[in-house]
Amino acid sequence: MSVRPPAVGAATGYQLAWVALLAAPLLAVVQIIAAQVGSATRSDLQTLTIKRYGRRAATILLVSVVTVNVVTIAADLQEGAAGLGLLTGVDSRWLVPTLGVALLGLLVAGKLRQDGLGIAPLCCPASWRSPRSRSSPIPTGRCLPDPA
């Protein structure tokens, strides 16, 4: 008998909560270090990797980051579809492409904005009426800091 994905969480309950408690501080440390390196060097990880280790290492890094992101997005789409399937009674196999198209639409709509805001207006309503600087893609407002 196979276990359906939504039933796995119901079967394990909070037995795997320790993983989140262990991973959250580790992820926070990595994020803080990455932000400090970016702030100190005024450069991104890919550029710094090319300068320090060469193009081959940078390509391996890029492929690994893209692979992890694609797998994570696929898992999130599957679980979101499974949750919606439980609520609506629709088979989750039909909802995965629907959620994928919706996500792609949000990404494309955000990237098509000329001022480079991406999806910031969807996430931060306070930036809707704030003035935008043409020299910086970061909106000035209450949600995001003013560019330096």
pLDDT of residue 93: 87
Please name the residues in contact with 100: beta carbons below 8 A apart, sequence gap of 6 or more.
77
- The answer to whether 46 and 62 have CB atoms below 8 angstroms apart is yes
**pLDDT tens digit at each of 148 positions of the chain:** 444 555 556 677 778 788 889 999 999 998 898 889 889 999 888 899 999 999 999 999 999 999 999 999 999 899 888 888 888 888 888 889 998 898 888 888 776 664 455 445 555 555 544 445 445 444 444 444 555 5
pLDDT of residue 113: 64
Please name the residues in contact with 53: beta carbons below 8 A apart, sequence gap of 6 or more.
none
pTM, rounded to two decimals: 0.56
Distance CA 9, CA 7 (A): 6
